Amino acid sequence: MSRTLSFLWREGKGVALALALVLVVRTVAAEPYTVPTPSMVPTLMVGDKLVASKYAYGYSRYSTPIGEFPMKGRMLDSAPERGDVIVFRLPRDTSVTYVKRVIGLPGDTVQMKEGRLFINGRMTERRETGTMVTEIGGRSFTLHHYIETLPGGRDHDVIEMSDEDTLDNTPEFTVPAGQYFMMGDNRDDSLDSRVAAVAGGVGMVPAENLVGRVDMVLYSHDPEAAWWNPAGWRDLAKHLRLFTQIS
């Protein structure tokens, strides 16, 4: 082997090993994800950088970041808990990744009535904590901020513009075995399991589509803030959300 080929072989082995290590970590332990939409506000913000913990639910064909494993079902499977925030592959297009909260477990019934969430026929408790004003398309809207308590006692934040929006009244859904019902915390601006896959929504999410559980925001970048503008650094720092725990 020539000196040049020997050098390339030594350097190539190091690069290949490094790439293999990154691939293993992203497949087995965690994978980064950036929040692209406001569907999970106020829990997650646009620009949040997350890490989905893959070991939380085991592994499926979608656990690798470079394609699909030739396998069915899940390995080392562990079921999610109601209220977990999960990164998953969209059932109708598995090339697309979503992040939502688990609301319905297998066998549950889920329904929205006049903006209130019903699980297994019982209305979940919510209490209003205040309001916030946002601007959409040049118009100002008031959003109501609530703390919602799921069966089992787990609390999380939700926001609603009103209790009379498009998805505030739905049929009663029954969650099939091995599937989950997902919803966004921004109830009036979330495409989720309330809309069937055949209608362009999420529908029920099979267990094998789960990628990982979101436990923390590593940091966030406000897309409206410019890194290169020192005048905006103080405001930019407010949006970093370093190591924010997710509940």
Q: Which residues of 106-144 are buried (b: 16+ CB within 10 A; e: fewer)?
A: eebebbbeebbbebeeeeeebeeeeeeeeeeeeeeeebb
Domains: count for the chain: 1
CATH code, 48? 2.10.109.10
Is a pLDDT exceeding 60 seen at residue 61? yes
Quick check: is 21 in a domain?
no
Quick check: is 105 in a domain?
yes
Quick check: is 8 in a domain?
no
Taking only the tens place, the pLDDT of each residue in 117-130 is: 999 999 999 999 99
Q: What is the separation, in whole angstroms, between the first and last Cα of the chain? A: 57
Q: Chain-wide mean pLDDT for the chain?
A: 82
Which is higher by pLDDT, 234 or 106? 106
Quick check: is 16 in a domain?
no
Range of the domain at 149: 31-245
Task: Find the mean pLDDT for residues 69-75.
Answer: 71
Quick check: is 241 in a domain?
yes
Confidence (pLDDT) at 200 = 96
Taking only the tens place, the pLDDT of each residue in 201-234 is: 999 999 999 999 999 898 887 655 544 444 444 4
Quick check: is 12 in a domain?
no
Both tokens of 91, joined, read: 């059932």
Range picked from 67-71, 73-77, 221-225 for highest mean pLDDT: 73-77
Lowest mean pLDDT among 30-39, 78-87, 165-174: 30-39
Read off the pLDDT band of 59 (50, 70, 90): confident
Taking only the tens place, the pLDDT of each residue in 129-174 is: 999 887 766 788 889 999 999 999 999 999 999 999 999 999 999 9
Read off the pLDDT band of 74 (50, 70, 90): confident
Quick check: is 104 in a domain?
yes
Active-site residues, by number, are 39, 100
Is a pLDDT exceeding 50 seen at residue 20? no
Quick check: is 24 in a domain?
no
